[in-house]
Homo-oligomer: A and B are copies of this chain.
Amino acid sequence: MTAEEEVVNGGAIEKPTLGARLLGANTFWIGLVLIALCVVFGVLEPTAFLTLFTVQTLLIETAVLLVLSVGMTFVIITGGIDLSVGSVLIFSGMVSAKAMEWVSGGSSTNAGWGVILFGLVVAIVAGTAWGILNGLLIAAAKIPPLIVTLGTLGAALGAASLLNNGSDIRTLPSTMRTTIGYGTSFGYVPNLVIVAVVLTLIGAWLLHTTVFGRHTFAVGSNAEAARRSGIGVTRHLTSIYTLTGALAGVAGFMSLAYFGSTTISAHSTDNLNAIAAVVMGGTSLFGGVGTVLGTVIGVFIPAVLKKGFNIIHVQDFWQMIAVGAVLIAAVWFDQQRRRSRNR
């Protein structure tokens, strides 16, 4: 084959093979890391790690973070950041719990599906409201995302605390806990996980195959070029933060169902965990590149690690050190492979 042949008809040679595309995929190597981790723990503790129960709880425990991270992926691809997700989650849960109490006229412990659905809607609306606020301040008022979401991080938490005077609400419909919180479908699959998977699939579809997703990449790649190309950058950014807020609202409801409590004092590290998952998955903090699949892998690497360490009883302090080291090593390995592929 001479060079000539390759470039004749104005470019565009045919696509590389599936194998080459897989090897070339940004998520391939980091995915290998995840698989390696599972294998290692599986070998170390086959009877404990590779059990249905472990897998179920692993999935359930990551469900809430996964939903937050899907939203965060969109935000980071635009070159932004959202520190407020954890607080918005708590706020949504609190408002939802309050609303369910209110429509049940007191305790909502025995409320039925109507009330629960109402609670879900309220949670989504509450999350969406914060999302819109974030979006407008970032996109229209052009305040840096870090500052805006740091501000709403505090504000949403303060507002959530105000609503019930600083204490948690713990009287929630018991149906909600038993079905959504830790019920299963198809025999084995926790319902919470089904919700998370469905939302993740929708997110992946939206990001990778639709106009909305394309514009998300464009805004992150070069916002000025996007603007000049007639993309409503302000509007697009606003909808992305709104989407993230709405997902945080859903996550708030999921957390409510799971914990059966508004857990005001929890979720303080959700924002960093979500950001770390997204970045580990190969999304650049500078925007313009990223995948939802990468984020999923990025969510599971620390989760599997911590689960494995807990099962093999690694001491807390060593665990912290080891998790830190593996995070760095995983990304380093990924970078290394990708770089050599480009040689």
Q: Which of chain A's residues 278-334 have a Cβ closer than 8 Å to chain B?
A: 279-280, 284-286, 316-321, 323-325, 327-328, 331-332
Whether A154 pairs with B324 at a CB distance below 8 angstroms is yes
Given known pairs A162-B317, A272-B150, A316-B161, the reply for A144 and B324 (CB within 8 Å) is no
Whether B150 pairs with A327 at a CB distance below 8 angstroms is yes
**Cα A157 to Cα B309 with chains together (Å):** 17
Whether A147 pairs with B321 at a CB distance below 8 angstroms is no
Closest B residue, CB atoms, query A286:
B286
Stretch at the interface among A14-22, A135-143, A192-200: A135-143
With a cutoff of 8 Å between Cβ atoms, the chain B residues found around residue A321 in the complex are: 154-155, 158-159, 162
With a cutoff of 8 Å between Cβ atoms, the chain B residues found around residue A331 in the complex are: 143-144, 147
Q: Does A132 contact B (CB under 8 A)?
A: no
**Cα A283 to Cα B107 with chains together (Å):** 49
With a cutoff of 8 Å between Cβ atoms, the chain B residues found around residue A280 in the complex are: 147
With a cutoff of 8 Å between Cβ atoms, the chain B residues found around residue A46 in the complex are: none
Q: How far is the CB of A317 from chain B (nearest CB, A)?
A: 4
**Cα A83 to Cα B305 with chains together (Å):** 21
Closest B residue, CB atoms, query A276:
B150
Chain A interface, number of residues (Cβ within 8 angstroms) = 46
With a cutoff of 8 Å between Cβ atoms, the chain B residues found around residue A218 in the complex are: none
Q: How far is the CB of A27 from chain B (nearest CB, A)?
A: 15
**Cα A318 to Cα B157 with chains together (Å):** 10
**Cα A272 to Cα B331 with chains together (Å):** 23
Please encode chain A, from 206 to 230, with 1 for each CB lying within 8 Å of some chain B CB and 0 for all others: 0000000000000000000000000
Whether A146 pairs with B316 at a CB distance below 8 angstroms is no
Among B141, B150, B161, point to the contact of A335 (Cβ < 8 A): B141
Q: Does A166 contact B (CB under 8 A)?
A: yes
Main secondary structure of the interface of A (DSSP, over half): helix
Q: Does A232 contact B (CB under 8 A)?
A: no
Q: How far is the CB of A340 from chain B (nearest CB, A)?
A: 13
Among B147, B150, B157, B324, point to the contact of A155 (Cβ < 8 A): B324
Given known pairs A137-B328, A151-B324, A272-B150, the reply for A317 and B159 (CB within 8 Å) is yes
Q: Does A275 contact B (CB under 8 A)?
A: yes
Whether A328 pairs with B161 at a CB distance below 8 angstroms is no
Whether B158 pairs with A318 at a CB distance below 8 angstroms is yes
Q: How far is the CB of A258 from chain B (nearest CB, A)?
A: 24
Listed residue (A147, A157, A279) with the most chain B CB atoms within 10 angstroms of its CB: A147
Please encode chain A, from 259 to 287, with 1 for each CB lying within 8 Å of some chain B CB and 0 for all others: 00000000000001001100110001110
Q: Does A153 contact B (CB under 8 A)?
A: yes
Q: Does A67 contact B (CB under 8 A)?
A: no
Q: 20 A–B contact pairs at CB < 8 A?
A: A79-B286, A83-B272, A137-B328, A141-B332, A141-B335, A143-B328, A144-B279, A144-B284, A146-B279, A147-B328, A150-B324, A151-B323, A151-B327, A154-B324, A155-B325, A158-B316, A158-B318, A158-B321, A162-B318, A162-B321
